[in-house]
Amino acid sequence: MLAQVHDGDGYPVNWPDRPGEWLMEPSQFASWVAELDGRVVGHIGLSCGGAGDVAPIHWSRLEGRPVRSTAVVSRLFVSPTARGYGIGALLMAEVVREAQERDLHPVLDVVATDTAAAALYERLGWRLLATVDQRWSPAQTVTVHCYAAPAPI
C-alpha cells in the first residue's frame, strides 16, 4: 500500500531502503492502522520530536512551552482505493486523542507540495505555524509547512 501511495502521490518523497523500518521510526511511541473490509488501508504514527522535526520548535516559540511538550504526527497515508471515507480524519483524531492523554500537543511537518495533506490538516482546524526550507541531504532542500493541532477545549 505504501508503494501505491508513493507511486501516485509521491509520499514519502524519498522511497526508503527499508519501508518497514521507516514506518517504525525509533522515536515513535504509538502507531495505528485503519482497516476497511478486512484490509489495512491507512497508517499513522506518533513520536517524540527528533532533530529533523521543525514543527515542535516553532510551536514552542509561539506558545512559550518546551519542545518536549509536543508529540509529532508522522507517517500518515491512506490507500488510494480507500480515500473519501474519512479515514485520514479518523486517524488524525486518534493521534490527537493519544497525544492529549499524554499531556502533549500534536504538531507535524508536511512537504509544501503535498497540498492534499495540508488541506486535510486545515479542514481539521490545524494551525499553520511556519513554512521553512529544510535540508534533507547535501543535495536536497525541501520546503515544509509546520502545523499544530487546535488547542484542546
Q: What is the pLDDT of residue 49?
A: 82
4 within 8 A of 42, measured Cβ to Cβ: no
Q: What is the pLDDT of residue 153?
A: 63
The dihedrals phi and psi of 9, each to the nearest 5 degrees, come to -115, -10
**22, 42, 58, 128: which is closest to 92 by C-alpha?**
42
Q: What is the pLDDT of residue 122?
A: 97
Reported as a single tens digit per residue, the pLDDT across 91-109 is: 999 999 999 999 999 999 9
Q: What is the pLDDT of residue 50?
A: 74
Listed as ranges, residues in the chain with pLDDT below 50 are none
Distance CA(143)–CA(111), nearest Å, equals: 6
The sign of the CA dihedral 136, 114, 81, 26 is positive
Domains of the chain and any CATH numbers? 1-109 (3.40.630.30)
Q: What is the pLDDT of residue 52?
A: 75
Q: What is the pLDDT of residue 19?
A: 93
Q: What is the pLDDT of residue 124?
A: 97
Please state whether the predicted TM-score (pTM) of the whole model is above 0.85.
yes
